Amino acid sequence: MRSSAPAKIRHLLLFLGPAMIGMVVFYITPFMTSLVISLTEWDGLRRIGIGSLPRISGFGNYREILASEELRRVLGNTLSFVVLYIPLIVVASLVVALLLERDRPGVVPLRVAFYLPVLTSWVAGAIIWRWVLSPEYGPVNAIIGGLGLPEPGWLQDRRWAMPAIVLASIWKDMGFFGVILLGGLQSISPAIYEAAEIDGASAGVRFWRITLPLLSPVLFFVLVIGLINSFQLFPQVMIMTENAGPQGATQVMVERIYTYAFRYYEMGYASALSWVLFVIIFVCTVIQLRMQRVWVHYGE
């Protein structure tokens, strides 16, 4: 017996209602609230109610942000991280995926070992990396000094603070992206490699002409997620480099949002800064979506 349209709607609301309520409460409402707050000068402490509304500043926060020297400096630091992090994380994750692709004795424990940093809290991981990269007693500088090479100041040196953050971030994220690429590699049919090998294609040719093109959709996903994560850089900066590093060398967008919101109590300015970050990420993602037509190959 066919159910009536109202019954179908009731069933639909029954199943989708809880998810829709959660989306409205935890996503859409905060999203729109931050937009409203970005147009005010609210410190986050004064109670909002009738007769005690925060002062409306319009687009004053946005004009101040776009005209500030700080925005250019922070964007420069963020772009420095992106330029270092994205190529290295893609290459490192691809190497991990290639090493762990084939079934061989001990490969399962290795896969678990490479994924363990992903499960590790950034707080614990960052504290460990602060010790590892310590110029005085860290093992990295001990090894470098033992080889007779100059020992970097790492987190205490303006030139090396961001590369140190990149190094820790690659350690943390390599297993996550490696598993994604591993799944992409295992989805490629072995028959394609067998046919290429019969035709005399070398291992290098098979990698460049078969593996990379067929893996390009997964690589595209890794690039998009990696770029978004790069612009949202925060916990490793806050823990590894207190006060955003020497001379503000590791001041990045999310760190500035946190600082203005919860240290300076300028919620309006922080909300406007978060919307500026949203626009930047949105534009970069749109560019990536357009560029995928050039190098991403779907299907075999």
- Whether 281 is covered by a domain: the verdict is yes
| Separation CA 51–CA 59 (nearest Å) | 22
- CA–CA separation, 64 vs 71, rounded Å? 10
Judge whether 218 lies within some domain. Answer: yes
CATH number of residue 249's parent domain: 1.10.3720.10
- pTM for the full predicted model: 0.86
Question: Coil, strand or helix: which one is 177?
Answer: helix
Please check whether residue 19 lies inside any domain of the structure.
Answer: no
- Write out the chain's pLDDT in tens, 300 residues: 455 677 888 888 888 888 889 888 888 898 898 999 999 888 877 766 545 567 788 889 999 999 999 999 999 999 999 999 999 999 999 999 998 887 778 888 888 888 999 999 999 999 999 999 988 888 999 999 888 888 888 988 899 999 999 999 999 999 999 999 999 999 988 899 899 988 888 889 999 999 999 999 999 999 999 999 999 999 999 999 877 778 888 999 999 999 999 998 999 999 999 999 999 999 999 999 999 888 888 865
Report whether 118 contacts 170 (CB < 8 A). Answer: no
Residue 225 in any domain: the answer is yes
Structure letter (DSSP) for residue 105: T
Give the H/E segment covering residue 40.
strand 40-41
What pLDDT, on a 0 to 100 scale, did the predictor assign at position 62? 94
Does residue 227 fall inside a structural domain? yes
Summary mean pLDDT of the chain: 88
Q: What is the number of domains present in the chain?
A: 1
Residue numbers of the domain that contains 241: 59-295
Task: Provide the pLDDT for residue 150.
Answer: 87
